[in-house]
Every structure is written in C-alpha cells, then in structure tokens.
Amino acid sequence: MNFGNWIVVAFALFAIFIGTLVTICIKQDISLVSKNYYNDELKYQDQIGRIDNTNKLRVKPTIVKVDNSVQVQFDSQSKIQNGELKLFCPSDPKMDKAFSLSSSGGNTQLFDIKSLHGGMYKARLLWSMDGKEYFYEAIIYV
C-alpha cells in the first residue's frame, strides 16, 4: 500500500471511531433532577419565600434517621396543617420516596424507610402552618 491508501484508511477508521462514540453517547441515560425543570424554575420564587419563612422560625425542624425510620421533629408550639417529606436520591431517581405529614401526628413523626437502599438522600420537607408555607432541606444517610 502506498501513502495515499494509508490516509484513506486512517480517515475511514477515524469516521468509524467518531460514529461509535456518538452512538454510545446517544444511548446514555441522562436523568435530570426533575422532568419539568423549566416549570419548576418559574415557581422557584415561591420556594424562596418558603425558605425565608423557615429562616424566620425560632426553632427549625430536625430530620434524622432513627433505626429503620426517618424522624421529623417540630417545635413543641408548632401546629402543622399539612405537609410532605420527600426523600430524594441523587444517584438513582427510582429510589425517591414521598411521605405525607399528618396534622394529628403531633410534633414528632416517624416514617418507615426499610424499603430504601443505602446511600445519601436529600430530605426535603414542605409544610404549612399558620397560613404560611415552609421548606427545609437536610441530608441523611440510610
């Protein structure tokens, strides 16, 4: 083979390499934090208000792992109307879990997490109390 043929072979191999690389990249699963991230960003101003309300609280809630459950504890004078605790797993969106807070559940509520795999979770707590909404986030390890 002469020099010209080697150039053609090199270009062909390079084209095959690039085609393979593009095919592999297209088949990768890229999961976003939220499927509706654009709408979530538009609603973020409400979220900023919730965080401000939480920062004004005298005593913030605590979220801790106790044995095979997650414990959410509020101030003794807090009267929760409703709310939700979401456990968000950054490494696997299929492992996300949501729990409803009960207004009759008292200031300490427990949620069973036996079905969750081990790892880091972001616990996102959204609740309403005295006509205002609040948001608190903590990191827990299962």
Please report the pLDDT score of residue 33 as a whole number.
67
Please report the pLDDT score of residue 80 as a whole number.
83
pTM metric for this prediction? 0.67
- Are 87 and 117 in contact by the 8 Å Cβ rule? The answer is no
Q: What is the pLDDT of residues 68-112, one digit of tens each?
A: 889 998 887 778 888 899 999 888 888 889 999 887 767 888 898
Q: What is the SS3 assignment for 123?
A: strand
Domain spanning 37-141, CATH class = mainly beta
- Are 123 and 140 in contact by the 8 Å Cβ rule? The answer is yes
For the chain, helix (H) and strand (E) counts, in that order, are 3, 7
Q: What is the pLDDT of residues 21-53, one digit of tens each?
A: 999 998 887 766 667 777 877 788 888 999 999
Q: How does 55-84 read in b/e, with b if 16+ C-beta sit within 10 Å?
A: eeeeeebebeeeeeebebbbeeebebeebe
